[in-house]
Amino acid sequence: MSKKPIALGARLIKYSSIQTLGFKPNFQDYSVHEKELILTARKIYFPTAFYADLFNVMGKKTFPSFHTYTFALDKIKQTAIFKLLDIPHPETKIFYGKRQKQTILDYFTFPFIAKKARGSARGNDIHLIHNGNDLSNYLKKKGPAYIQEYLPIDRDMRIIIIGKKIRLSYWRMATHGNFRTNLHQGGIISFDPLPQKALDLALSTAFKCGWDDVGIDIIEHNTQYYVLEANMKYGTKGFKEAGINYKDMLADLVLKNKV
């Protein structure tokens, strides 16, 4: 058994204290020694989505967790688990097929939010629907319609949890005339203190959902806190602005067995 942590994904490949084997979809392509390292490792780091569920079947621990991979880039699954676990979430409904999509206005009034249901990140494919023309243009896109009530805000909270602790939290402020707070859409970071209730909600959400490497977005509206979504492919710009070397921090957590 190797004394070094064993990783498949290349996130920390430059750190010689972590043995990164690389991703090979054909397991037989690993050498005999590499197979032994994988099979005898206490935990596999960055197993990739391909191997995460396979290791889960075997009962082998991974970081990130199997559940973290399962919900990545899938707003439909996230909304479902929020409802199942009674986690506060803006009113949301998914419409499949042409017939269901024709009933959207039976459930929502303008304005409302429309998003790409799967595979979207960085604030892309999020639309504020003001009228029928906006809705028609959105519905030209293939796939389920992901419709969510619009709660007017000028900021939200990004809370990043790695392992079992919050490693960074900050406000994302929308710029004038932009309803989106995402940093890739022009949002601005503020490190003013976040409400404790929001921090507690983020931690409890991650714990209930089994997520251990996630950026959770929370908004406050009319004194209520809501989880918007979970980002397993969160950006690291916030760490940089906070003066934290993200990869050094992550490698340290791995080597100290804190994740």
Three-state SS for 170? strand
Average of pLDDT values for 68-87? 97
Nearest to 201 by CA among 230, 176, 181: 230
Return d(Cα 117, Cα 126) in angstroms, integer.
Answer: 10
CB 182 within 8 A of CB 61: no
Query: What are the phi and psi torsion angles at 181 (to 5°)?
Result: -105, -5
- Quick one: CA torsion of 61, 66, 67, 68, rounded to 10 degrees? 100
DSSP 194-247: PPHHHHHHHHHHHHHHT-SEEEEEEEEETTEEEEEEEETT--SHHHHHTT--HH
Nearest to 22 by CA among 43, 44, 4, 39: 44
Length of the chain: 259
| The two structure tokens encoding residue 58 | 């075997």
Residue-wise pLDDT for 189-219, tens only, equals 999 999 999 999 999 999 999 999 999 999 9
pLDDT at 227: 98
pLDDT at 182: 67
CB 225 within 8 A of CB 201: yes
Half-sphere exposure of 128 (CA within 13 A, CB side): 11
Identify whether 47 is preceded by a cis peptide bond (ω within 30 of 0).
Answer: no
Beta partners for residue 142, in sequence order: none
Residue-wise pLDDT for 134-193, tens only, equals 999 999 999 999 999 999 999 999 999 999 999 999 999 988 767 777 676 668 999 999
Q: Who has greater pLDDT, 75 or 121?
A: 75
Return d(Cα 110, Cα 124) in angstroms, integer.
Answer: 21
Domains plus CATH for the chain?
Answer: 6-63 (no CATH), 91-149 (3.30.1490.20), 155-255 (3.30.470.20)
Query: The pTM is what?
Result: 0.93
Token pair 């805000």: residue = 153
pLDDT at 71: 97
Q: Where are the alpha helices (DSSP H) in the chain?
A: 32-40, 48-58, 66-70, 75-84, 97-101, 104-107, 132-139, 196-209, 237-241, 246-255
Under the banding of pLDDT at 50, 70 and 90, the label for residue 1 is low
Return d(Cα 165, Cα 161) in angstroms, integer.
Answer: 5
Annotate 87-116 with b (16+ C-beta within 10 A) or e (fewer): bebbebeebeeeeeeeebeeebeeebbbbb
